[in-house]
Chain A
């Protein structure tokens, strides 16, 4: 049981050691890292705290720390050393424990032996003393009754009987005898009295012992013949004790000392066994204890001897003790130390351990001792061996665990390095792929442009029908190829991270109008309704990348139109906050309230995966738009939905055959949306339709700038007019309202013609325009006719103009002879709407050609500005100057970079500089760098007070806007422009829109 406990304890200790080990290593590594970085001392404490915290969390987390441990070889050798140390420690520990336990056991054994031995010795001694006392008592008895009485009260018979009966009192004596002191003078008388001669004691054979054959004692001064003897030793009667060597010595010593005296062990007569004889002297009178030996000898009457049969006695004694078996007992007479006489016991083989207990039998001149040994040798120390072995095993195991762990870590690290190398390779390969794609597609694009241009020119030549058809096909294929290459280029750019978004001001509504007109042809072909709705809360202008935004919308709408055969495609733009608020309010999306009345996929579900609005952290001046493109197309099969944003993924091979395309659009859109800090999601129900929703973050131009830009001129002429839209479908009506409102008109909605009429008759307002959904008009032609008539006869100065909103271009319709109202073909766009209204209402046709607005504002911006134009090419210089002058700017020309630098040396009065990039001697980048250097120098000088502010037109921070003029606008050049300190670039020759965008950044 205790063994198991011990193992458990050992395991616990092992665990503890393990923990300590970890902590030790961790501390070492931490300290080394601390020392390496030479941080402040309080940092080490911090790390300690951290360490403790982590340590207490879980040991399994500790592997995390291994990464701090120095790397590579150093750590490996460390580990090895530690491991060896650890194993050595374990071995030493187990050996020590073994030794310790063994010595403990030995000690215990010795103690047991000593106890047993002492116990036996004491008992022996006690019993001996008892016997001795009794013998002494008997001597007094003899002195009293034999010598004290005359005639003697004791004869041999009495003595024998008495001693026999009191033998139990002397457990160690085998017999008692009494010898009387007989002087030589008294010998004859004595012999006569006793009837035998005093015989000499001679050693004889045990078997042949016969007292009759013994010789009479030779004549001596005195004799000590035995007169009484116990029956067991009756054979000694008449023997002269003084003739036995041992006996004589004993007798003489006993009478001189007055105490019990022991012989050395001797072979007993007759029994031939080993025994000792105890002799007491019997005196005539009581002697004082300090009587001299002479007095004692003189007073001696006789001698009482007891025979102690040591062998049998000790045996008897040991039998009384149960554990006789476990030890050997030897009793020695050690009076002569060099040659101890064995009194009892056998010479068993040496079992190592021995204990010696002294025996005191009351005779000071004789020394006895008891030597005890265990019968068995010490048994194997199984406990000690197993414990130490266990500890050794545990430490080895721990060592093994560490070794394995270390190996594992090393392996994992190697793997990690390998992996990271592979990863790097893969990434390199990916980058290379993207670069390759970018290069190749760029390279393809250039000749393709040539091919397309040539085809264009070929078309203009005289061709027959077949040839024209071929050329057209070739051109269409070429265009498809170019658009595919553009898409691939985009993808590659996005993947290689080279795509950068512009940040220019743009009008979101204009862009959506553009996209709408792009798709209007297709939607008419298919008879799909196309509509855009932008929430009024979305600002007029935003700052962002209009091209990319447009690309996303175009992609989504292109997909929608591809997969939609009937119904509608509806683009809505809201502020994210707006939508998030409204989600809580309108919980049930009425499925019927859609643009075309067909059911659609749930828009709300398409942004379920988006981050919650509260989590989107955007700067305060930025605006998050949420744009949804909803269609009633075939929808996306459920199994294809998860991989919809994967590049080159299409629902199935058949799709490509039916609809064409590469499947790269959505992937690009997703990337673009991500670049705009937005998210994209969708919801799609097969055979019902899909709704794609994305968010995008734009920045909001500040208030002042918004005010600076008035509404387009063409819009203003409809200001404050009143329009009524007749449409039973609220969503569609809302879309119409949105577009009409953009013209500055007030709009009301009526759900039917009758409603409309009542509104007209009751309302006090003048209604200028009535827009009626085609569906309402066609529904009940007679009603329409009545309505038409009534409308004419309204008592208004000018009867309201009537318009039909229709999806498809069809011939004018006549209802019962009434000419059909003007038809406005959807999708509604502000320009188209304005044009239609203008045409119908006869307002003067204003040239609203594209680019008119920027040109107008350009003039405003550039009027009176002093601008430096730098170009080495005279023609270019002249043209650029001419263009800028046209906008009212004051232009100064310079034909090389050096001139520009000297002209732009502050103080100067230039408001901006347009600089050609490629110029001999000093290119535009270098010139700009020098100009910036000069400016910085002067700014610093002014700041430090070295230069007078007055000398520099009171301007402390000189920075003239420098715009690069470049023929090929590519990304690399753009970056280089910014790097060399330019503020932007414009393409050469000037393009009004772009010029406006760039210039507006500085002059607005």
Chain B
């Protein structure tokens, strides 16, 4: 049991640090609250959907920005998608970068866009690592027979 409670504390600490460091926001909490008995894997499901989408979008963006004549409307709509999905899961930093990205897009600033894409990829990988770590922790708790603490 001690291991479980330790794991639980670790989980709480980790989650809190994620919030504090600005990787996640309330939306993620709400996401967690949506998960219940009828829908036990909701968060994981949504987040993996997010990962899938994001990778697709990142590729698309990279391709779009490599074109000779960049179609900024297309880029913008990709970024919009990215922004929507990231804000839906509460990946705050990603969302923020998206906002910047859209500004550059509007200004048709290719340099800025490329920089943002870089940043976006970076933030995405960061949040992905963090979330995956979180899920691993969750799995460990569940495997240890404990329950995942509910964050408030």
Q: Which chain A residues have a beta carbon within 8 Å of chain B's beta carbons?
A: 457, 460, 871-876, 878-880, 882-883, 885-886, 916, 918, 920, 967, 988-990
Report the minimum CB–CB distance from A139 to chain B (whole Å): 148
Taking a contact as CB atoms under 8 Å apart, the answer to whether A874 and B83 are in contact is no
Kindly state the separation between the CA atoms of A989 and B25 in the bound complex, as whole angstroms.
12
Contacts of A886 in B (CB 8 A): 33-34, 36, 39
- The 5 listed contacts between A and B (C-beta, < 8 Å) are A872-B81, A885-B39, A886-B33, A886-B34, A967-B84
Q: Which residue of B lies closest to A882 (CB)?
A: B34
Q: Does B67 sit within 8 A of A, measured CB to CB? A: no
With contacts A886-B34, A989-B30 known, is A876 near B39, CB below 8 A?
Answer: no
Q: Which residue of A lies closest to B27 (CB)?
A: A989
Against A, the Cβ 8 Å flags (1 = close, 0 = not) of B39-69 are: 1001001100110110000000000000000
Kindly state the separation between the CA atoms of A457 and B25 in the bound complex, as whole angstroms.
13
Taking a contact as CB atoms under 8 Å apart, the answer to whether B46 and A878 are in contact is yes
Kindly state the separation between the CA atoms of A977 and B17 in the bound complex, as whole angstroms.
40
Taking a contact as CB atoms under 8 Å apart, the answer to whether B45 and A989 are in contact is no
Report the minimum CB–CB distance from B134 to chain A (whole Å): 17
Against A, the Cβ 8 Å flags (1 = close, 0 = not) of B19-34 are: 0101000010011011
Taking a contact as CB atoms under 8 Å apart, the answer to whether A874 and B42 are in contact is no
Taking a contact as CB atoms under 8 Å apart, the answer to whether A875 and B39 are in contact is no
Contacts of B35 in A (CB 8 A): 882
Contacts of B80 in A (CB 8 A): 918
Taking a contact as CB atoms under 8 Å apart, the answer to whether B42 and A882 are in contact is yes
Taking a contact as CB atoms under 8 Å apart, the answer to whether B36 and A988 are in contact is no
Q: Which residue of A lies closest to B43 (CB)?
A: A882
Taking a contact as CB atoms under 8 Å apart, the answer to whether A989 and B49 are in contact is no
Q: Which residue of B lies closest to A886 (CB)?
A: B34
Report the minimum CB–CB distance from B7 to chain A (whole Å): 26
Task: Among B20, B39, B46, point to the contact of A460 (Cβ < 8 A).
Answer: B20
> Which of B20, B27, B34, B50 has the most CB atoms of chain A within a 10 A radius of its CB?
B34
Q: Which residue of B lies closest to A888 (CB)?
A: B38
With contacts A873-B81, A873-B84 known, is A879 near B39, CB below 8 A?
Answer: no
Q: Does B97 sit within 8 A of A, measured CB to CB? A: no
Taking a contact as CB atoms under 8 Å apart, the answer to whether A874 and B87 are in contact is no
With contacts A873-B53, A989-B27, A989-B30 known, is A879 near B89, CB below 8 A?
Answer: yes
Kindly state the separation between the CA atoms of A460 and B52 in the bound complex, as whole angstroms.
33
Taking a contact as CB atoms under 8 Å apart, the answer to whether B49 and A878 are in contact is yes
With contacts A878-B45, A879-B46, A918-B80 known, is A457 near B85, CB below 8 A?
Answer: no
With contacts A873-B53, A989-B30 known, is A879 near B77, CB below 8 A?
Answer: no
Report the minimum CB–CB distance from A850 to chain B (whole Å): 12
Contacts of B86 in A (CB 8 A): 875
Kindly state the separation between the CA atoms of A883 and B46 in the bound complex, as whole angstroms.
12
Taking a contact as CB atoms under 8 Å apart, the answer to whether B42 and A988 are in contact is no
Contacts of B15 in A (CB 8 A): none
Taking a contact as CB atoms under 8 Å apart, the answer to whether A920 and B39 are in contact is no
Taking a contact as CB atoms under 8 Å apart, the answer to whether A883 and B84 are in contact is no
Q: Which residues 80-99 of B sit at the A interface, judged by CB distance below 8 A?
A: 80-81, 83-89
Contacts of B87 in A (CB 8 A): 967, 988-989
Taking a contact as CB atoms under 8 Å apart, the answer to whether A457 and B22 are in contact is yes
Report the minimum CB–CB distance from A376 to chain B (whole Å): 108
Kindly state the separation between the CA atoms of A873 and B52 in the bound complex, as whole angstroms.
12
With contacts A457-B22, A879-B46, A886-B34 known, is A873 near B39, CB below 8 A?
Answer: no
With contacts A967-B83, A989-B88 known, is A874 near B49, CB below 8 A?
Answer: yes
Kindly state the separation between the CA atoms of A721 and B46 in the bound complex, as whole angstroms.
49
Taking a contact as CB atoms under 8 Å apart, the answer to whether B53 and A875 are in contact is yes
Q: Which residue of A lies closest to B47 (CB)?
A: A875
Contacts of B27 in A (CB 8 A): 989
Kindly state the separation between the CA atoms of A920 and B76 in the bound complex, as whole angstroms.
11
Q: A873-B84, A967-B87, A989-B87 are in contact. List 13 more A-B contacts (CB 8 A).
A: A873-B53, A873-B88, A875-B53, A875-B85, A875-B86, A883-B30, A885-B39, A886-B33, A886-B34, A886-B36, A886-B39, A920-B77, A989-B88
Kindly state the separation between the CA atoms of A876 and B46 in the bound complex, as whole angstroms.
9
Report the minimum CB–CB distance from B72 to chain A (whole Å): 15
> Which of B22, B27, B85 has the most CB atoms of chain A within a 10 A radius of its CB?
B85
Kindly state the separation between the CA atoms of A460 and B46 in the bound complex, as whole angstroms.
30
Kindly state the separation between the CA atoms of A874 and B89 in the bound complex, as whole angstroms.
11
Contacts of A967 in B (CB 8 A): 83-84, 87
Task: Among A457, A460, A883, point to the contact of B34 (Cβ < 8 A).
Answer: A883
Kindly state the separation between the CA atoms of A447 and B84 in the bound complex, as whole angstroms.
21
Taking a contact as CB atoms under 8 Å apart, the answer to whether A875 and B88 are in contact is yes
Taking a contact as CB atoms under 8 Å apart, the answer to whether A876 and B85 are in contact is yes
Contacts of B89 in A (CB 8 A): 875, 879
Report the minimum CB–CB distance from B8 to chain A (whole Å): 21
Q: Which residue of A lies closest to B20 (CB)?
A: A460
Taking a contact as CB atoms under 8 Å apart, the answer to whether B46 and A875 are in contact is yes
Kindly state the separation between the CA atoms of A882 and B43 in the bound complex, as whole angstroms.
10
Kindly state the separation between the CA atoms of A872 and B81 in the bound complex, as whole angstroms.
8
Report the minimum CB–CB distance from B3 to chain A (whole Å): 30
Kindly state the separation between the CA atoms of A874 and B83 in the bound complex, as whole angstroms.
12
Report the minimum CB–CB distance from B91 to chain A (whole Å): 10
Taking a contact as CB atoms under 8 Å apart, the answer to whether B49 and A875 are in contact is yes
Contacts of A878 in B (CB 8 A): 45-46, 49, 88
Report the minimum CB–CB distance from A796 to chain B (whole Å): 39
Kindly state the separation between the CA atoms of A872 and B88 in the bound complex, as whole angstroms.
13
8 closest Cβ pairs, A-B complex: A875-B85, A879-B88, A873-B84, A882-B34, A875-B50, A876-B88, A886-B34, A878-B46
> Which of A871, A882, A990 has the most CB atoms of chain B within a 10 A radius of its CB?
A882
Report the minimum CB–CB distance from B19 to chain A (whole Å): 11
Kindly state the separation between the CA atoms of A876 and B27 in the bound complex, as whole angstroms.
12
Kindly state the separation between the CA atoms of A990 and B22 in the bound complex, as whole angstroms.
20
Report the minimum CB–CB distance from A627 to chain B (whole Å): 33
Report the minimum CB–CB distance from A896 to chain B (whole Å): 13
